[in-house]
Amino acid sequence: DTGARLAPMVGVVGATILVPLLGLHEAGVAVTGDVPSGLPGLNLALSHGHWRALLQPALLIGFMIFLISMSAAQPLALKRQEKVHSNYELIGVGVANIGSALT
């Protein structure tokens, strides 16, 4: 099962390495283009239209994640006879999202 999942990636990486090494593009092997070197440039979509289109779905997704987090925290707090602080829960979800974006 793992081999079947890795086979396409191994094929692409292998072809990417072998075509220039063996000069296969000169022997008639069709290539789609050169692999760009380096990382792509940073492009922030800062237009008003982009933000407006993303605002409502982002708020809905954030609200759903908060509800899921609170519904998981409530039973755990009841078992330990503790109180759930929704503000701290929201801060924790936000910090976790920022941390996951940076790793």
Per residue in 39-51, pLDDT (tens digit) is 888 877 678 888 8
Kindly give, in sequence order, each residue whose CB lies less than 8 Å from that of residue 74, ignoring residues fewer than 6 positions away.
84
Tokens representing 5 are 């999942």
Per residue in 4-39, pLDDT (tens digit) is 999 999 999 999 899 889 988 888 888 887 778 888
- Give this prediction's pTM: 0.51
Kindly give, in sequence order, each residue whose CB lies less than 8 Å from that of residue 96, ignoring residues fewer than 6 positions away.
none
Tell me what pLDDT residue 45 has.
Answer: 67
66, 93 Cβ separation under 8 angstroms: yes
Give the domain ranges of the chain. 1-31, 46-103
35, 16 Cβ separation under 8 angstroms: yes
Nearest 10 degrees: Cα torsion 18, 22, 24, 27 = -170
* Phi-psi label, residue 71: left if phi above 0, alpha if psi -120 to 50, beta otherwise: alpha
